[in-house]
Amino acid sequence: MEKESTKIHQILSMKGGLGDESYAKNSKPQRAILSSSVPVLEQAVLDFCDTRLPHCITIADLGCSSGPNTLFAVTRITSLIHERFSQLGQAPPEFSIFLNDLPGNDFNAVFQTFLPAFKEKKWAENGSYISGVPGSFYGRLFPSNSLHFVHSGTSLHWLSQVPPELNDKSNPLINKGKIYISKTSPAAAIAAYQIQFQKDFFSFLMARSKEVVPGGRMVFTLNARRIADPTAEESCLTWDYLGQALQDLVLKGLMEEEKLDTYNVPYYEPYVEEIKTEIAKEGSFTLNCLEIIALPWDACNGGMKCDRATTAKNWVRVLKAINEPMVRSHFGAEVLDPFFQSLTGNHRS
């Protein structure tokens, strides 16, 4: 029997390619998060540069995805380190850079379309060696004591699997009409999501504790919530919209209700205290900085001012780029158009 986590690894990927509906063209909110986190990233790099610097520095970006954001952090990390070497009057360092994501990620687009621009940077023309590493970051990916700097951008809210209680074939925990945590979700479903995040995040930290050298640094951003209530609107509203759009298809006879009842996303937005707890429990890392960044509603517009209808349409394009592979796998390709059309209507209302 195929493990559920293995199936998730095969279908959990952003929409590949470079078309208008691809993740590469619809990842502006993620870019806004990365841009807002630059001060934290730069401080971590500068702190690292205060240590004894090896001539070859190994960097891993975990959950790199595919698009213009893929090399965003790597570019800043390498440029700052290169500048520091120059200030110290040392020869330019070499960089061994690993880009990691699940096997379904569009690595071809990364290396064919986005890597050439990085290689044109003066500090990257020579001495930068970049590799793709397919696999789950919830397990070991690299040899012991091999990484100097780890970055993960907007990825750790994706779980290794849907909580198994929700997928139990003999006695599934039904999260009626919902695809994620909601005000109407059973308490057991909410607890299952919380426990799955705790297990996964602890596993992530434990794997990195073996791979990162003493004195190494790690910076990550993820979708999280500012209040303890896991059913708070700030972390659940978008998934309520998605669930409502799927319910619309059931009501129209385009989908069996059982299909909806058995669909749950492998996703969880933790409370900041949950993050702190797992870091303290694992014990290998010192938390130097934790900042909360609140994105505006129109982050999907890339800084442009748009009316509500246009903003709603742009958000649906973002959601489609993220969710289409999972929706297609569970419900079939025939529901995609009516589903996202219904979602656009719900967002405008």
* DSSP β-ladder status, 147-153 and 212-221: parallel
Cα separation of 299 and 238, whole Å?
14
C-alpha pair distances (Å), 116 with each of 71, 111, 127, 199, 295: 11, 7, 14, 38, 30
248 dihedral zone (left: phi>0; alpha: psi -120 to 50; beta): alpha
DSSP readout, 96-107?
EEEEEE-TTS-H
Predicted local confidence at residue 269, as pLDDT: 95
Cα separation of 236 and 223, whole Å?
11
- Of 246, 262, 260, 266, the C-alpha closest to 169 is 262
Predicted local confidence at residue 115, as pLDDT: 83
User: Any idea what DSSP says for residue 271?
Assistant: B
Cα separation of 132 and 148, whole Å?
17
pLDDT in tens, 261-297: 889 999 999 999 999 999 999 999 999 999 888 877 7
Cα separation of 300 and 310, whole Å?
10
Please state the pTM of the whole predicted model. 0.90
> How many other CB atoms are found less than 10 A from the CB of residue 284?
12
**Residue 196's Cα: distance from chain center in Å?**
16
Predicted local confidence at residue 309, as pLDDT: 78
Reduce the DSSP state of residue 90 to 3 states and report it. coil
Predicted local confidence at residue 196, as pLDDT: 97
Alpha-carbon torsion, ordered 204, 207, 208, 211, to 10 deg: -160
Predicted local confidence at residue 101, as pLDDT: 94
Beginning with the edge strand found earlier in the chain, give each strand of the sheet holding 128-134 in spatial order: 128-134, 94-101, 56-62, 147-153, 212-221
347 dihedral zone (left: phi>0; alpha: psi -120 to 50; beta): alpha
Amino acid at 259: K
Q: Name the residue with tokens 């129209």.
A: 252
Cα separation of 333 and 329, whole Å?
8
* DSSP β-ladder status, 94-101 and 212-221: unpaired
CA atoms within 13 A on the CB side of 247: 12
The helix-helix angle for 308-331 and 336-348 (nearest 10°) equals 150
- Of 191, 202, 200, the C-alpha closest to 278 is 202
Q: Judge whether 339 and 245 are in contact, CB under 8 Å.
A: yes
Predicted local confidence at residue 7, as pLDDT: 56
Predicted local confidence at residue 230, as pLDDT: 93
Which positions of the chain have pLDDT values less than 50?
1-3, 5-6, 347-349
- Of 232, 225, 220, 238, the C-alpha closest to 294 is 225
277 dihedral zone (left: phi>0; alpha: psi -120 to 50; beta): alpha
